[in-house]
Structure 1
Amino acid sequence: MFDTLYIGTSGLLGNAKGLKIVSNNLANVNTPGFKGAQLRFGALFEQGGGVTAGHGEPQAAAGQGVTTLGAQLNFRPGSDQSTGNALDQSINGNGMFVVRRDGELRYTRAGDFSFNGKEVLVNGNGDHVQALSAGGELTDITLDALGSNPAKVTTTVSFNNNLTSNVAVPPVDATVNGVPIVDLVGGSHTVNLSFKDIGGGAYTVTVTDGVTGGATLGTGTLRYSGGQPSVSNNAFTFQYSTAGVPPFTVKLDFSKTSNNPATTNLQMGSADGRVAGVRTAQTIGSDGFINVTYSNGEKGKGQRLALAQFVTEDDLVQDNGAAFSKTKTGAVSYGYAGTDAYGSLVSGHREGSNVDLAEEFSNLIVMQRGYQAASHVISTTNDMIQELFDMKGHR
Structure 2
Amino acid sequence: MLESIYVGMSGLMGYSHGLRVIANNTANLNTPGFKGASLQFADMFYANSDGSGSEAFGRDQLGYGLTTYSTSLNFKQGELRQTGNDLDLAVDGQGLFVLRNAEGELHYTRAGQFEFNGDGVLVNRADNSEVMSADGTGNFTRIDLNTQRINAAKATTSIAFQGNLPSTTANAQTVSNIVAIDALGGEHTLSLSLTRTDQKWAVKVLDGTTTVGSGTLEFADGKPTAATSKLKIEYKPAGQAAMPLEFDFSGEVRSFASGDISTLAVTRQDGYKLGALSSATFDSTGTLVLAYTNQQSVKGQRIALARFDTPDAVEAVGDNQFKSTDETAWHTGVADGLAFGTISSGVIELSNVDLSQQFSDLVIMQRGYQASSQIVSTANEMLQELFSMKSK
TM-score (norm 1): 0.91
Q: Secondary structure at the match of 1:233?
A: coil
Whole-angstrom distance in 2 between the partners of 1:371 and 1:49 = 26
Counterpart amino acid of residue 362 in structure 2? L
Partner of 2:329: 331
Whole-angstrom distance in 1 between the partners of 2:187 and 2:37 = 62
Distance 1:50 1:21, change over 3 A: farther
Contact kept, 8 Å, 1:45 with 1:61, in 2: the verdict is no
How far residue 93 of structure 1 moved from its aligned partner, in angstroms, is 1.8
Counterpart amino acid of residue 285 in structure 2? D
How far residue 311 of structure 1 moved from its aligned partner, in angstroms, is 1.8
Whole-angstrom distance in 2 between the partners of 1:224 and 1:196 = 13
Partner of 1:183: 182
Partner of 1:139: 141
Correspondence 1:259 to 2:260: no
Q: Secondary structure at the match of 1:176?
A: strand
Partner of 1:387: 385
Which deviates the most, 276-285 or 373-382? 373-382
Whole-angstrom distance in 1 between the partners of 2:321 and 2:249 = 59
Q: Quick one: percent identity of the two aligned structures? A: 40
Which deviates the most, 349-358 or 363-372? 363-372
Correspondence 1:321 to 2:322: no
How far residue 142 of structure 1 moved from its aligned partner, in angstroms, is 1.4
Which deviates the most, 13-22 or 94-103? 94-103
Partner of 2:352: 354
* Structure 1 gap ranges (5+): none
For residue 374 of structure 1, the aligned residue among 340, 359, 372 is 372
Correspondence 1:83 to 2:79: no
Contact kept, 8 Å, 1:241 with 1:248, in 2: the verdict is yes
- Superposed counterparts of 1:37-186, under 5 Å: 37-47=37-47, 51=51, 56-101=56-101, 102-125=103-126, 126-166=128-168, 168=169, 171-186=170-185
Which deviates the most, 263-272 or 306-315? 263-272
How far residue 158 of structure 1 moved from its aligned partner, in angstroms, is 1.8
Whole-angstrom distance in 1 between the partners of 2:263 and 2:23 = 72
TM-score (norm 2): 0.92
Cα deviation 1:336-391 (Å, max 9, x = unaligned): 21255221112221211111111112222222222222222212222221122122
Partner of 2:200: 202
Contact kept, 8 Å, 1:43 with 1:67, in 2: the verdict is yes
Distance 1:157 1:18, change over 3 A: same
Distance 1:271 1:55, change over 3 A: closer
How far residue 215 of structure 1 moved from its aligned partner, in angstroms, is 4.0
- Superposed counterparts of 1:6-17, under 5 Å: 6-17=6-17
Q: Secondary structure at the match of 2:112?
A: coil
Partner of 1:223: 218
Q: Secondary structure at the match of 2:20?
A: helix
Aligned CA RMSD, in angstroms, stands at 2.2
How far residue 267 of structure 1 moved from its aligned partner, in angstroms, is 1.7
Whole-angstrom distance in 1 between the partners of 2:303 and 2:54 = 72
How far residue 195 of structure 1 moved from its aligned partner, in angstroms, is 2.1
Contact kept, 8 Å, 2:49 with 2:62, in 1: the verdict is no
Cα deviation 1:76-131 (Å, max 9, x = unaligned): 11121111222222222222111112311111222222212221112232221111
Whole-angstrom distance in 1 between the partners of 2:345 and 2:152 = 28
* Structure 2 gap ranges (5+): none
How far residue 218 of structure 1 moved from its aligned partner, in angstroms, is 3.5
Whole-angstrom distance in 1 between the partners of 2:15 and 2:64 = 16
Whole-angstrom distance in 1 between the partners of 2:222 and 2:336 = 49
Whole-angstrom distance in 1 between the partners of 2:258 and 2:146 = 52
Distance 1:55 1:237, change over 3 A: closer
